[in-house]
Amino acid sequence: MDPNISHNPHNRAILVKLLGELDEEVLTQILEKGKAIELDTGSFLFHQGDLDNSIYIVLSGRFRALATQSDGHLHALGDIGEGEPIGEFALFMGEPRSASVVAIRKSVVLELKENEYLEIVAKFPAFSTKLTRFVVNRLRRNVLQQHLEAPAKNIAVINLQSENDISEYTDAIKAQFESLNVSIQILDHDSHAEMELQQVYDALEQHEGLNFLVCNDEDLDWSRRCIIYADLVVLASDFYADSKIHEIERHLDLYSQNILNKKIYLLLLHPEEAKFPENTRRWFEDRKIDLHIHYRKHHGPDIRRFARILSNKAIGLVLGGGGAKGFAHLGVIKSLYDNGVEIDFLGGTSAGALYGLTASFCDFDRKMIDFYSHDSASSKLTKNDFTIPLISIMSGKKMTNYLKKMMGNTHLEDFWVGSYCVSTNYSNASAKVHERGLAWKQIEASIAIPGIYPPVVIDKELHVDGGVVDNLPIETMYNYPVQHIIAISLTQLRSQPVDFDETPSASKLLLSKITGKKKFRIPGIASILVNSLTLNSRQKQEMTKSGVELYLELDLKGIGMLDDTRWREIVQKGYDQMKNALENFPEEKRFW
């Protein structure tokens, strides 16, 4: 890095990106008054409870915020990357630091003490306005934006089968980034291992795009340097290879419990026209993996998905519950793909789990989705399934057998696209997120409507419909590297008054149906049960939808919870309403 920080164009660009356009004189004052501080890996910038009220701006490197919370344990709150401020609230509020901040690789910050800040503001009031505006905007950020970390700049790559040539995979990724005007720099053992540490560091920080540091199992010193410099570690492996822990993983101590550990993505490489993955779970034994990604050679959607994931620009689709209305989710998905929106992660509750994960299981193939739509409706899964009503009205056997027949021994981690569903753990009164395990079993738990279907036993605990606690699981999607969330609700949040003063008797309702005069518009027993159970989670839905880029509440009036005979109509309604939402989405906000 240029020792004269005020004349370094990179530093000036950082300030402009953070604060917006400023006069050159103001930029020079900020950089000259401030102090550049270099921190090695593991060095703390400050600790929780400190009274220091300086503000810091990350000029290069990466930090992690840590805080001891009410349970007495130290928790990682998130990573802070290049171009982001640290500690701005302490400057304005004068309060103790709410968290500790540690460098997770060699980093440089610009420090501005309170008196230096005031001196600059006295000469250039515009600086105060710009910084205040930034702080206000940060406070206004929705929940997703608060969770979204800065994308990784330095990515260490470890090929677990170093004898295998994976250039066809990596060349495709490089070409994808170049098509997005993202510059790629590759630093490998042959070209950079002999360089001095500072030379390697300078090469990384002076490059404005992504840096890929290629580890080498024959030179562990170089590989350790790659890990130290990295923001993210990608393990690449032939999916069909032996899944045992390799020597390079042990030597680099990738899975130890350490606050400085980098996130690890497991990239599982498949051949062209690969069959559906089986037994992905073997790769998780003895490994601590933050995310696994299936990648088929020359498969465009997989290449584009991986590029979006690495750049924190992935798209997540969240689907809500609502019985047979869930057929509309299939129409939504078909409409998204017809309009060029590819799904990188999918999550759902109840009907959102059933129909959404079916589409994900089909790899969003239209013909397969159409087949299962017709086949499931023809199977009349909610008809003639009554049982002795001790714990539920229906036995659930028809649905379970159908899911078993469709998905067999497939686990959620085998799906080509990362998918999850949510149930309610009845045994400990909490939400349960299912990201791994037998797919049919996890879906069965998510759709087990209390009173209608029996609870599902998983790990000796009872699980019921996820809609009891979270009918539209948006918050769970924050845990994935997504920048854009699309959420589809099947339940309308607005008030729905009735046109009668007293609830009609059963005989009046029966007479109304016999005569064909629909005098009373009142929901059936299934709708009342489900909607009553999900009232609390509907309030949560109202609060969390602010973190969504595109929120669509489908209008499915007149369609009952068990009305699967109208599946074609329901699918079409979902398709048409999603198409209309996309067409009317502001041009300047489009992310596809």
What is the DSSP pairing of strand 314-319 with strand 345-349? parallel
Q: Is 165 a catalytic residue?
A: no
Round to whole Å and give the CA distance between 351 and 368: 18
DSSP state of 262: P
Cβ-count burial of 503 within 10 angstroms (0-12 exposed, 13-18 middle, 19+ buried)? Answer: exposed
Round to whole Å and give the CA distance between 521 and 499: 8
- Helices 167-179 + 300-310 axis angle, to 10: 70
Radius of gyration of the chain (CA): 27
DSSP state of 181: T
Round to whole Å and give the CA distance between 302 and 45: 39
The DSSP secondary structure of 121-148, one letter per residue, reads HHH-HHHHHHHHHHHHHHHH--HHHHHP
CA angle 26, 14, 77 (to 5 degrees): 120
Per residue, the 3-state secondary structure of 336-377, as one string, reads HHHCCCCCCEEEEECHHHHHHHHHHHCCCCHHHHHHHHHHHH
DSSP state of 149: P
Candidate list 350, 360, 376, 446, residue with the active-site label: 350
Candidate list 217, 465, 563, 564, residue with the active-site label: 465
In a 3-state reduction of DSSP, which class is residue 241?
A: coil
Which residues partner with 164 through β-bridges? none
Chain position carrying tokens 């009373």: 520
How far is the CA of 287 from the CAs of 71, 76, 82, 259, 516, in angstroms?
A: 26, 19, 29, 17, 63
Tell me what percent of the chain is helix, strand and coil, each rounded to the nearest 5: 40, 20, 40
Which residues partner with 68 through β-bridges? 74
What is the DSSP pairing of strand 85-86 with strand 55-60? antiparallel
In a 3-state reduction of DSSP, which class is residue 318?
A: strand
8 Å CB contact between 223 and 216? yes
CA angle 55, 61, 67 (to 5 degrees): 60
How far is the CA of 320 from the CAs of 154, 355, 467, 486, 577, in angstroms?
A: 37, 10, 8, 11, 16
Q: Is 79 a catalytic residue?
A: no
Lookup: tokens for 320: 């809500």
The DSSP secondary structure of 77-125, one letter per residue, reads EEEE-TT-EESHHHHHH-PPPSSEEEESSSEEEEEE-HHHHHHHHHH-H
DSSP state of 429: T
Please say whether the dihedral angle defined by the alpha carbons of residues 149, 150, 156 and 160, taken in this order, is positive or negative. Answer: positive
Cβ atoms within 10 Å of 438's Cβ, excluding its own? 18
Round to whole Å and give the CA distance between 96 and 83: 23
Which residues partner with 79 through β-bridges? 64
Just list the catalytic residues.
350, 465
